[in-house]
Amino acid sequence: MQKLIALTEDDKSEILKYIPRVELTNRLANFFQNFSDNTRLRIIMCLALGNMCVNDMSIVLNLNQTTISHQLQILKSQDIVDFKRNGKMIFYNLKQLQINDVMIGAIEAIY
């Protein structure tokens, strides 16, 4: 059994109260992977500004529609993006407003 050097067993117990279980940290890691992909990050930034269709995102981001659609599928599977149909048009939006908070916090952290 390994011995603690600078912490007491009480310190260890207190710390372990605040560290999430492995299942949650896995979900967090998957969530943050979306912010490490440049294309997904740019899509998230677009959608943070308002609802958009694939065609408009394609023009704004100078990416082909297939790439945008593929990345949107990934973001939908992570519950980051949602969509609404308006006739033949599909408009995508951020599913959770807290995504904006994550983005603002990240931008503030690097400046």
CATH of the domain at 23: 1.10.10.10
The answer to whether residue 1 is domain-embedded is no
What's residue 103's pLDDT? 85
- Please state the domain count of the chain: 1
As a whole number, mean pLDDT of residues 72-85 equals 94
Mind listing the pLDDT tens digit for each residue in 32-77?
Answer: 888 889 999 999 999 999 999 999 999 999 999 999 999 999 999 9
The answer to whether residue 85 is domain-embedded is yes
**Domain residue limits at 17:** 9-110
As a whole number, mean pLDDT of residues 12-39 equals 91
DSSP notation for 95-106: S-THHHHHHHHH
The answer to whether residue 21 is domain-embedded is yes
The answer to whether residue 39 is domain-embedded is yes
The answer to whether residue 82 is domain-embedded is yes
The answer to whether residue 62 is domain-embedded is yes
The answer to whether residue 33 is domain-embedded is yes
Beta carbons of 84 and 51 less than 8 angstroms apart: yes
What's residue 107's pLDDT? 87
CA angle 72, 97, 80 (to 5 degrees): 25
As a whole number, mean pLDDT of residues 72-87 equals 94
